[in-house]
Amino acid sequence: MKNNRLSDLDIQVIDGDRGVNYPKEKDFSEKGFCLFLNAKNVTNNGFKFDICQFISKERDLILGTGKLNRLDIVLTTRGTVGNIAFYDEKIPFEHIRINSGMVLLRNQDNNIDHKYLHHFLKSSFLKEQIERISFGSAQPQLTVKTINSIGISYPQQKETQRKIARILSTADAVIEKTEAAIAKYRAIKQGMLHDLFTRGIDVSTACPSERRGKLRPTYEDAPELYKESKLGWIPKEWEVERLDNYFGLLRSGLSRLLSEQDIGLPVLISGNIQENKIDFSCLRYWYENDPQGADTSAYVLQNGDILLCFINSIDQIGKVAIYEGYFRPCIYTTNLFRIKASEIVKPKFLYYLLSSNIVQNEIKAIVKPAVNQASFTTKDFCKIPVPIISDKEQNKISNNVEQIDTKIQTEQTYLHKLQQIKAGLMADLLSGKKNVETVETQNFASLPSPPLS
């Protein structure tokens, strides 16, 4: 393997045009000639185009540097530092520019394969170098000078580089297929939640046997089964009440400057809620005996407690997860509500209700934006109208959603396995520890994916 600094290779590090012509807010539109990248477009997994902003052809023409050519690589330099995206032929936009928190890398070195360079920059080798560069900085950022000092390892033979890139691209394709399956199941789940919390499941002994235990027909197909309410047309058996009818306890967490060192109790923060699950991989901690005299035992979570974020950036507000235990007691921080289910509701059902668009849309409506973060009040939250449903129907609804949750979890477990395999493969190939010819005989794509249904 050869080792060179980026500055020793014919790879340009190109900054964007930050001069007087840099676009202002009024210059952006939802559609236009040139995509102007924002921080959310360049993620840990490459490009993402959910939220896009564009500039006109006229604005594009008066800007200088910072416009992408095919095979350029984008690197984020501020905020979330080190995200990488590759502008290959799959990207559907012909005209793209970087914003002021990014640079683009243009490989003109005949000894470096474009796709190999992309995989190397996505690897832990780059992340470790960025962490060393950023160590001790309150607000990590990368300059063109520091980026040029980054070390690149590569096989001398370009064909070997191409083989490594092919293997890792195959791994990426399997991972992307699994991620697509997870996205499909999540979309199915949202549709299911909408149907279940507007139509419900008919559990009445009076209904025809072929319909019992299944979704009620829609209002259009069977209007006699429904009545008008604050939520629109709902099943006749349901009532509409305030959300706090389902609460046995609603309490925010402990407000402290938490430690990254294990000094006592793990503390769950909003960042630990990921995809409606609790992620314990990156915890904060606080003293079991609080120096300020608070009774930390009052904040210890119990199985079935629901955590919901009510103070954070607008896109984080409303995140929800159910606590199902950890190997040691955990408490929670001040921007989370802890919710215990009342006697008239099952915790799982309440968790699914809080995850549904019925409640999530109401949360969006009561959020009050502020300079640094948004929030909503306990009073407004408790007043959200929700359907009151019998125990029997609650159980049926929860069981239906749990089935799709199990499928999502199966795919996520498989995805995690694939990511671990790829990480090990990448480390071995990019360091030269593993012979590329040996790895090429191992067909990564042949790993069986859990069947879709």
Q: Mean pLDDT across the chain, nearest whole number?
A: 93
How does strand 96-97 pair with strand 226-229?
unpaired
Reply yes or no on whether the pLDDT at 441 is more than 70: no
* Burial class of residue 3 in the structure, from the number of CB atoms within 10 Å of its CB (0-12 exposed, 13-18 middle, 19+ buried): exposed
The H-assigned helical ranges of 135-157 are 144-148
Residue in the structure block whose two tokens are 């389902």: 246
Name the CATH topology of 239-387. Answer: Adenine-n6-DNA-methyltransferase TaqI; Chain A, domain 2 (3.90.220)
pLDDT of residue 208: 78
Same CATH topology for 2-154 and 239-387? yes
Find the helix or strand (DSSP H, E) in which 190 lies.
helix 158-196
Cα separation of 120 and 135, whole Å? 21
Reply yes or no on whether the pLDDT at 134 is more than 80: no
* Cα–Cα nearest to 276, from 330, 340, 328, 352: 352
Domain regions of the chain by residue span: 2-154, 156-230+389-453, 239-387
Tell me the CATH number of domain 2-154, given options 3.40.720.10, 3.90.220.20, 3.40.640.10, 3.20.20.70.
3.90.220.20
- pLDDT tens figures, 394-440: 999 999 999 999 999 999 999 999 999 998 888 889 888 888 877 76
Confidence of residue 443 (pLDDT cuts 50, 70, 90): low
Confidence of residue 448 (pLDDT cuts 50, 70, 90): low
CATH architecture of the domain with range 156-230+389-453: Orthogonal Bundle (1.10)
pLDDT of residue 136: 63
| Tokens encoding 355 | 């995850």
Confidence of residue 447 (pLDDT cuts 50, 70, 90): low
Tell me if 384 sits within 8 A of 243, measured CB to CB: yes
E strands in 32-182: 34-36, 42-43, 46-47, 54-55, 73-76, 84-86, 96-97, 102-107, 151-154
Mutual angle of helices 124-134 and 391-431, in 10-degree steps = 90
Q: How far apart are the first and last CA of the chain?
A: 45
Average pLDDT over residues 187-202: 95
Confidence of residue 138 (pLDDT cuts 50, 70, 90): low
Interior angle at CA 327, CA 326 and CA 332, nearest 5: 45
Residues with Cβ within 8 Å of residue 384, at least 6 apart in sequence: 242, 243, 359, 362, 363, 366
